[in-house]
Structure 1
Amino acid sequence: MGCGSCSTGGGCSPAGCKSNGSCLTNGCSKLDVHDWLSHMDMPNNYKPFSIVEVKFKGSRKEFYHNNDNIYLEAGELVAVETTTGGYDIGHVSITGELVRMQMTKRHVKEADVTKKIYRRATPADVDKWKMAKDLEWETMHKSRTLALELKLSMKISDVDYQGDKTKATFYYTAEGRVDFRELIKKMAESFRIRIEMRQIGMRQEASRLGGIGSCGRELCCSTWLTDFKTVSTSAARYQNLSLNTLKLAGQCGKLKCCLNYELDTYMDALKHIPDNVNFLKTEKGDARLQKTDIFKKIMWFAYPREESWIPLPISRVKEIQQMNRDGVLPEDLGEIIEVETAPVKVLDYENVVGQDSLTRLDERRNNNKNKSKNKSRNKGPRPDGQAPAQAGPRPEGNRQQNNAPKREGGQQAGPRPNRPEGNRQQNNGPKPEGNTQQAGPKPEGSNRGNNRKPNRPRPNPNNPNRNNNTPPPARPE
C-alpha cells in the first residue's frame, strides 16, 4: 500500500515507502517526526497514551482517540472518524508519549480531541481510497474549467478526496472574497459528491504543492516549516541585500521565509554600529560612508573626487563623530587599518572517475581535418612537376617493367602488362552497329555523344595565325 501523504495524491508503490510511512519515490516525506522514544522500554505498569496522531495528504495532521486500544505502529493505514460523516483513511505518524509533546507544542488539549479511530484499513478500504485519489487530478482540471466559464477570479490549486469517496475538499487562492455558490452547484451536479471550498494563502499553497527552491533544496514550508511568519523588506535592508523582487521572492510569489533565519544575528551585530554616520567632517574634507562590514566592525569612507576607500574601525568612527559634535575637525581620518584579504585558492581537480572532456569532439574533428589535409598534400603533384614520393619501397612483385618504348603522348606502345587476354578489346575490326565508337577514322562533323558539341579545331600555339579561325594544316599520314 502507498503512503497517504503523497503530493501527487495517487499513492506510491510499496517499495517507495519506509517503515514510518514517508515516501521515497514521490517526494512526500513532509513534516515527518522522528520517534526518539521508540527504542526505550516502558515500565510494566505504564498505560500507553490513548491519543494517536494521523497524517493525511499534504501537511494535514490531526489527533484521534484509540478507544479500542488497537496496537498501531507508525506508517499503518487506519480508518478514522470525520466531522461530516463517513470515514477517512490516513497514516499513523506518531504514537505514545511523543503525541503528548506534539499536542503541547500545537496548543491542543485532550478534551478538544473528540474523533476516534475505527479500525485498521482493510483491503476494501484501501482499494476505495486509491480509486478516490486517482480522481483528484481529473476533478481539479474540470473544476478549473467550470471556474473559468463562470469568470471567477480564483485559482483552484488542489483537491483532496475523502477515503470513502463521498466528499472532496477544494483548496483555492484568491485576492479577495469570491461568490462561488453557482460553482458549487455545477460541481455537485458533475461530480455527485459533497463539496467543501477552503481558501488558503500563497504560502500554504506552496507548502501543499511543494517544489525546489533557488538554493537547490526542497521548500522549507513543505518539509519542516509549520508556522509562517511575516517577512518584510526591512529584513533585506538589514542584511545589505539588493531589493530585487525577482531574487527575494519564493515559489509562492511572496518574500522568502529564509530572510528571517539570519535576521536576529544581523540585528545583534548592528547594535555596535553607530547610527546616522553618513559622512565625517575633517580639515581635508567630508569623507562619506561607502560600505559597512558589521561582522568585522569596519567602515569604509572616501573623500570626494578620490577613488580609494579608507577602512576605519568602529572605535575611530565613534571618536571622530564625537569630535564633530563638539565642533572639532581632525586633520584627517587618522590611522588606516590593514584589511587582510584571503588569497584565492586555485584547486586542482583530478579526473578520478574517468569522465570525458567536453572538447573531445572538437579535438577529434580537428585531428580528422589535419589527416585529410596531409593525405591531399601527399596525393597532389609537386611544384617541380615530379611524381609524389612514395612512403616506402614497393615490393618486387608489384613493380611494372616500363622499358617499352613510349608514344608521343607519354603512353607505352606495347600492351599493358599483367592484363588478362579475355579483357583485351580488339579494335582492329569494325564494331557493331549499337556502339557509337568506330575503330576507323571518324567522319567529319561526327559527335562523340548525343549531348556533346561537335569537335572544333583547337588553335595551335606555334601558328602565327592562331587568333584566326582558320584550321591548322593537316598532318601527313
Structure 2
Amino acid sequence: MRKALPEDLDAAARNAIKEKEAHALCLAKINERGMDMKLVRVEYLYDGSKAIFYFTADGRVDFRELVKDLAHAFHTRIEMRQIGVRDEAKMVGGIGICGRELCCSSFLREFEPVSVKMAKEQNLALNPTKISGQCGRLLCCLSYEYETYCTLKKCLPKCGKRVKHGNVEGEVVKLGVLDGTVTVRTDDHVQVVLKGEEIKPEDITDRAKKPLREQGKEVQQGTKDGHGSGRERRGDRRPDNRGKDKKEKR
C-alpha cells in the first residue's frame, strides 16, 4: 500500500482502455458462437499480466474455444470466472427501490442469507417486486432490522391470543412492533389499542374463551355419554362382540 504515482495513474488509464476493448471483442465472440452466457465485466491486473472475464450463466459453459480466441487476440493470460446474480449487481451497481445506491456496491462487503421469514416478521407485503432487489433476489436490507423486530415481538402477545386488561377483553388482531402497541378486537367488534408494556402474562390466554383443560373434560364427557365419533362407537362394540363369540364357542 502506497500513494499512487503519476505513472501508476497512467497505467490504470491504459488498463481501463484495454478493458473496454476486451469487453467488446469478447461480447462479439460470444454472440458469434451463440454461447448461453452473459458477460458482466473485464478486469486487467495492474501489471497487465492477466485479464479476468466475469460472466453469469444458468449452468456450466464450455468456453475453451473462447479462451483460445481471447488469448490469441490480447497475448496475455485469460481467466474466465463465473459469478452469481448478486455479484453481478455488486459489480454493475445501480439505484435501489429506496432511491439510494445499492448496498452491495457501496458498503456491503459480504452477502448474508436472507429469507421470506424476515419479511413476514417485519409485517411487509410479500410482493416479489417490493421485497426483491436489482439482482432479482430478496433485499439484503431485510436482515438489517430482523433481530430488532424479533426482540420487540417477544414483549407483545401474538396475533390470535385473547387479552383481558381492565375493561377490555378480546382477540389480538394487529401488532405495532415499533410503537409497542397491540390492537384488540372485542366481542362487540370494537378495536382498542393497548400499550404492550401494560399487558401482563396472566392477562393473555388462548384464542378459545374456555381453557384447554375444560375443553378436554367436555370431550371426555361427550365420549362417555355416547356422543363421540362413529369410529369410537365402533371401537366400544368390539370388546362386546368378542365376548359373545367366546360364549358361543364355549
- Calculate the TM-score normalised by the size of structure 1: 0.39
Aligned residue pair count = 207
- Match among 162, 173, 180 for residue 280 of structure 1: 162
* Distance in 1 (alpha carbons) for counterparts of 2:210 and 2:152: 25
Say if 2:142 is the partner of 1:256. Answer: no
Alignment of structure 1 residues 24-423 onto 2, 5 Å? 52=1, 72=2, 75-77=3-5, 123=7, 126-275=9-158, 277-278=159-160, 280=162, 288-302=171-185, 306=189, 308-314=190-196, 315=199, 319-321=203-205, 324-325=210-211
The residue identity in structure 1 corresponding to 2:191 is: W
Aligned-partner SS, 2:205: helix
Larger RCO (CA within 8 A; separation ≥ 6): 2
Which 5+ residue runs of structure 1 have no aligned equivalent?
A: 1-51, 53-71, 78-121, 329-477
Task: Answer yes or no: is the 8 Å Cα contact 2:114–2:142 preserved in 1.
Answer: yes
Q: Could you tell me how far 1:327 is from its partner in structure 2? A: 6.6
Task: Answer yes or no: is the 8 Å Cα contact 1:300–1:312 preserved in 2.
Answer: yes
* Distance in 2 (alpha carbons) for counterparts of 1:238 and 1:190: 54
Which stretch shows the higher mean deviation, 199-208 or 287-296? 287-296
Q: Could you tell me how far 1:326 is from its partner in structure 2? A: 6.0
Task: Answer yes or no: is the 8 Å Cα contact 1:238–1:263 preserved in 2.
Answer: yes
Q: Could you tell me how far 1:280 is from its partner in structure 2? A: 3.4
Alignment of structure 1 residues 424-439 onto 2, 5 Å? none
Higher strand share: 2
Task: Answer yes or no: is the 8 Å Cα contact 2:173–2:184 preserved in 1.
Answer: yes
Which stretch shows the higher mean deviation, 316-325 or 198-207? 316-325
Kindly provide the CA deviation profile for residues 232-278 of structure 1, in whole angstroms up to 9, marking residues without a partner as x.
Answer: 11111111111111111122222121111111111111112234x42
The residue identity in structure 2 corresponding to 1:130 is: A
Aligned-partner SS, 1:135: helix
Larger radius of gyration: 1
Partner of 2:220: none
Task: Answer yes or no: is the 8 Å Cα contact 1:280–1:324 preserved in 2.
Answer: no
The residue identity in structure 2 corresponding to 1:151 is: G
CA RMSD between the two structures: 3.1
Aligned-partner SS, 1:295: coil
C-alpha change, 1:235 and 1:320, in structure 2 (3 Å) is closer
C-alpha change, 1:245 and 1:305, in structure 2 (3 Å) is farther
Q: Could you tell me how far 1:279 is from its partner in structure 2? A: 5.2
- Calculate the TM-score normalised by the size of structure 2: 0.69
Task: Answer yes or no: is the 8 Å Cα contact 1:206–1:252 preserved in 2.
Answer: yes
C-alpha change, 1:295 and 1:215, in structure 2 (3 Å) is closer
Partner of 1:372: none
The residue identity in structure 2 corresponding to 1:278 is: G
* Distance in 1 (alpha carbons) for counterparts of 2:118 and 2:60: 30
C-alpha change, 1:150 and 1:287, in structure 2 (3 Å) is farther
Higher helix share: 2
* Distance in 2 (alpha carbons) for counterparts of 1:255 and 1:248: 6
Q: Percent identity?
A: 38
Task: Answer yes or no: is the 8 Å Cα contact 2:23–2:42 preserved in 1.
Answer: yes
